[in-house]
Copies of this chain bind each other. A is one copy, B any other.
Amino acid sequence: MSAGEEVLVAGAGMTRFEKSEASLRELAGAATREALEDAGVAVGEVEAAYVGNAVAGLVTGQEMIRGQVILRPLGIEGIPIFNVENACASAASALHLGWQAVAAGAHDCVLCLGAEKLTHEDKRVGMRAIGTAIDLEQRAELAAEVGTAGAGNGERSFFMDLYADMTRRYMSASGATAEDFAEVVVKNQHNGALNPRAQYGGELNVEQVLASRMVVDPLTLLMCSPISDGSAAVVLMSEAAARGRGVKGPRIRASVVRSGNVHDRDDPLSGSTGLAAAEGFERAGLGPGDIDCAEVHDASAPAELMVYEQIGFAEPGGGPALLASGRTRLGGELPVNTSGGLLSKGHPIGATGIAQICESTWQLRGEAGPRQVDGARIALTQNGGGWLEGDSAAMAVHILSAD
């Protein structure tokens, strides 16, 4: 972006993530109202809206104009509204498009919204919907490749089969163990207990995590992010427009979206996460050592360790040691998933990417309460979606600074 406008997160709002009785539009409405109120922005000041959602079409039948249907009851109409899908990275993709519009000077104030309702009276409906974030024509091939017959039957998300396969490769490459993955869960459930918007949270020990039901070896139930409903929203403003309005920020220093590349599956540093992070650091003029806190896509517990290495928080193979050092716990130098992450906070897939931005916003403003990272100035988020040819189909990295 040449000579772009500076873009601030002017407001953030988020429902609790949980298995909810509320409808998609009720959840999205609540998050949107909170974000607008936080920004001090009236409905009529919103110039465009970018709405991420992944599965409403398959779960509720409502396709195509999901954002309009959600926003109209709030009085948001007439403006450009875009419905954006990128599987579990739908919200971060919507955020990127909104950021681009403000950075370009096309708009001064936009709404970026992610919303998802995965629960359904038939539990398999949500599971099956998540399972469409692959190339369906390759489903049989993929199921054979990851060595499972159960994949895609709706009893569990197909993605846990993919994660299990990736995890087994990662264990070979790094020496990571099931105990390491359990430690990720212990950390994130501890954080989630400090977050009133988290679906779960509590004090667990490694034995409890390992003893929970085996979903796909080596992933136990507590190592898998849950099925969740929820919504998260941010209002973005140009710095020029925010001036004099008491907008607290933070500032978006980099917004990067990539799609997957075919890469070496045995090399955790190849692929879209590392490439997106490197591009983000370059755009922000920062490096991994500058990050004070991060929200990463721990859809399964081992993923958090892999991401440490992909982003450059740890050397290749050094994920487990970084975790064991305590640096990524609250109180460490680089707390990761202070919100509880996907594992504890929950994972309403089309909302997750913006929920990460909400947590980063609260951390960088010093508003994160008992899970506050002291003196946090720079935050990173990483949000992946879908699966294609051995990599995430979409990958988003955002870097924010307190000022």
Contact = CB atoms under 8 A, between A and B. Distances in A.
Interface string A43-73: 0000000000011011011111110110110
A72 B104 contact: no
A136 B60 contact: yes
A78 B272 contact: yes
Interface string A233-259: 000000000000000000000000111
B85 A259 contact: no
Contacts of A4: 104-105
Interface in A257-276: 257-262, 272, 275
Nearest to A3: B105
Nearest to A48: B257
A363 interface: no
A43 to B, nearest CB: 13
A90 interface: yes
A348 to B, nearest CB: 14
8 contacts: A58-B61, A62-B136, A64-B86, A66-B85, A68-B386, A72-B135, A80-B259, A97-B97
Interface of A: 1-4, 54-55, 57-58, 60-66, 68-69, 71-72, 77-87, 90, 93, 96-97, 100-101, 103-106, 129, 132-137, 257-262, 272, 275, 385-386, 388-389, 393-394
